[in-house]
Structure 1
Amino acid sequence: MAASALPSSMRAQFLDAFNSPYALRTVPLPVLTSPHDMLVKVDAASYCHTDAVLAAGGMAPNPPAFPHVGCHEFAGTVVATSHPAALSHGFQPGDRVGVPGRSFHACGTCFECRAAPGAGSDDSDPPGYSVYCAGGAANLGISAPGGFQEYAAVDARQVAPVPPGMSAPEAATLMCAGVTIYAALKRCGVAAGGRVGIVGCGGGLGHLGLQFAAAMGLRVVGVDNADAPLDLARGVVAARGVGGAVRVVDARADEAEDVVTQLGREDGRRDRADMGVDAVVILPESQRAFDYGVALLRNHGRCVVVSFPRDGFRLASRDVVFRDISVVGSLVGSNRVLREMVLFAAVHGVRASFKLFPLDRLNELVEEYHKGAGGKLVVDMTA
């Protein structure tokens, strides 16, 4: 779309205060302020748990400035760039892109942005840009306007091309939930044939994680404790025909120790210390979920923490000292990991279960989210 053909205004959903409904207003289109900026027509915007945390005032000490446009996982079509292709990184009007929220306008000069590829891992971003920028970069949908609007300014360095055949809602759900669980599974450090646990397997990240892990050749123990998420997880397993690789556990009915004993019997292991999963990903903000996940681990296992409850988690020192359990955090993947994940999802048919809402029904979407049915809820801008 040529710049001259763009409308002069757009609709956007604003959060005007914590614990308040979104307000739909008509405002001017975003202004491109950086040579790396592109203007994207938003096609689909996915709702994330972090959107709920932010709306409830849980992002202290860095709350958003009001009025605020949320959503840090969306997909759209490039309609304009602020600079020739050299700084739009090969993107041009008409290209379909997925947009995560991390590192909008990375500084390019802090220690994170200066790190060479492989400085932290082979998944690092190239020098000059980092999703962990410590130099004041904003985050779309969190500290800068996000995807709950018809047009958005995005940083060409942080987006991913959307493969042919992948719909905008499918791509949007991968831009936070997808890359976050994919990166967490990579941080598990478990080779194909090993065992991983996913606690919270029926949520937005979890049901994608079951699919990614199975496609990676991992044996998976998915855990949840509510009917709707468990139904979703079991439905994913059945639909993908991976029942031999994935088992779904109802934590209300099966104690962690009983699950570990079953795994040990299957693996022909006699010692409790050698039974269980090699790594576990913790998705819920629940101490009980954390304890359940750690209990699933065999000695020398790794616990990968994705959630960030306000009061944190308590870890028994005996698990760290006597069982050599390690705990690492995983926030999000680099742009390299994002692009790798999108292609992996396209090749292996990893797809979120989602429900669509038009932009003017965003508050109904939020109400649906709080029912806890699992899966993803997405604003469809074409509706």
Structure 2
Amino acid sequence: MAEVPKNQLALVAENFQGDFTVKEIPVPEIEEDEILVNLEYSGICHTDVHCHEGIYGPLVKLPYIGGHEGSGKIVKMGGNVKNWKIGDKVGVQMMNNACSSCEFCKKEKHFLCPSIVEFGVSRPGTFQQYIAVKPYDAVKLPDHADLSIIAPILCAGVTIYSALRQCHLLPGECVALSGAGGGLGSLGIQYAKSMGYRVLAIDHSSKEQHCRSLGADYFVDAFSENLVPYIVQV
């Protein structure tokens, strides 16, 4: 096993709406069925802002270590871990510990599972250097993966990809993306095009060039009086 320090640095908020400070805290101990990931990158999601503002109240554990879009490499493994090795690249996502047997899990709605544990909400997240995770909750990445690009995809990317999948469209059909010029929308345009869909981007007129550069086939200003007729026409 790789040498792992006893302590690490983490970005910590002691109170809701309080300042974040860099603190030295212990590196998590792992169970026999867990892996320890040395995080190299973490995305920042608006959910992190909500947690810090106290919007989720008692769901958020204080002191608060946010983040749920992490990527890094395995530096330590429990004795019962199989099919992984030290140095493997790993993605760490928000929702973990789904039971896989409840009615929600069987419908692939794992985010509604009563057993879910959320990094960056109910337990310390990816705003730290090391994190312990169950192998079945980790995303094994190819050796050539760019960890800096992967991190934000683990929340924003998964969110919009899941929505597109649930549309059950056929190649050649059209999908309308509201807020297409934003973070999720920008990924959504690219995913939809790779899935063979035609894309109608809806956003402020200032986002048209950006949306078209990503592959949008059509664009309509979200504030246009002709918004609904244009959508119906397309």
TM-score, normalised on structure 1?
0.56
**CA deviation profile, 1:151-201 (whole Å, cap 9, x unmatched):** 111121111122243211111011011111000001111111111111111
Please give the alpha-carbon distance, in whole angstroms, between the structure 2 residues aligned to 1:143 and 1:157.
19
- Matched AA of 2:69: E
Please give the alpha-carbon distance, in whole angstroms, between the structure 1 residues aligned to 2:185 and 2:129.
29
Match of 1:348 in 2: none
Please give the alpha-carbon distance, in whole angstroms, between the structure 2 residues aligned to 1:159 and 1:255.
45
Asked if residue 56 in structure 1 is aligned to residue 47 in structure 2, the reply is no
- TM superposition shift of 1:107: 5.0
Match of 2:75 in 1: 79
Please give the alpha-carbon distance, in whole angstroms, between the structure 2 residues aligned to 1:31 and 1:226.
51
- TM superposition shift of 1:131: 5.0
- Matched AA of 1:111: C
* 1:6/1:179 CA distance change after superposition, 3 Å: same
Match of 1:134 in 2: 114
Asked if residue 111 in structure 1 is aligned to residue 102 in structure 2, the reply is yes
Match of 1:32 among 5, 30, 33: 30
* 1:235/1:164 CA distance change after superposition, 3 Å: farther
**CA deviation profile, 1:119-157 (whole Å, cap 9, x unmatched):** 42xxx49xxxx554313x311111111111111111211
Please give the alpha-carbon distance, in whole angstroms, between the structure 1 residues aligned to 2:211 and 2:59.
36
Please give the alpha-carbon distance, in whole angstroms, between the structure 2 residues aligned to 1:254 and 1:150.
50
Please give the alpha-carbon distance, in whole angstroms, between the structure 2 residues aligned to 1:132 and 1:76.
27
* 1:237/1:158 CA distance change after superposition, 3 Å: farther
Asked if residue 206 in structure 1 is aligned to residue 185 in structure 2, the reply is yes
Asked if residue 16 in structure 1 is aligned to residue 7 in structure 2, the reply is no
Asked if residue 92 in structure 1 is aligned to residue 89 in structure 2, the reply is no
Alignment of 1:98-247 (within 5 A): 98-103=91-96, 105-106=97-98, 111-112=102-103, 119-120=106-107, 124=108, 130-135=110-115, 137-225=116-204, 227=206, 230=207, 234-235=209-210, 237-238=212-213, 240=214, 242-243=215-216, 246-247=217-218
Alignment of 1:341-360 (within 5 A): none
- Matched AA of 2:102: F
Alignment of 1:222-371 (within 5 A): 222-225=201-204, 227=206, 230=207, 234-235=209-210, 237-238=212-213, 240=214, 242-243=215-216, 246-253=217-224, 255-263=226-234
**CA deviation profile, 1:329-361 (whole Å, cap 9, x unmatched):** xxxxxxxxxxxxxxxxxxxxxxxxxxxxxxxxx
Q: Which runs of 5+ in 2 are unaligned?
A: none
CA contact (8 A) 1:57 1:63 kept: no
Please give the alpha-carbon distance, in whole angstroms, between the structure 2 residues aligned to 1:154 and 1:236.
36
Please give the alpha-carbon distance, in whole angstroms, between the structure 2 residues aligned to 1:138 and 1:69.
14
Match of 2:4 in 1: 6
Matched positions, count: 234
Please give the alpha-carbon distance, in whole angstroms, between the structure 1 residues aligned to 2:76 and 2:87.
9
* 1:94/1:253 CA distance change after superposition, 3 Å: same
**CA deviation profile, 1:175-229 (whole Å, cap 9, x unmatched):** 01111100000111111111111111122211000100011111111112374xx
TM-score, normalised on structure 2?
0.89
Please give the alpha-carbon distance, in whole angstroms, between the structure 2 residues aligned to 1:138 and 1:167.
27
Secondary structure in structure 2 of the residue aligned to 1:146 = coil
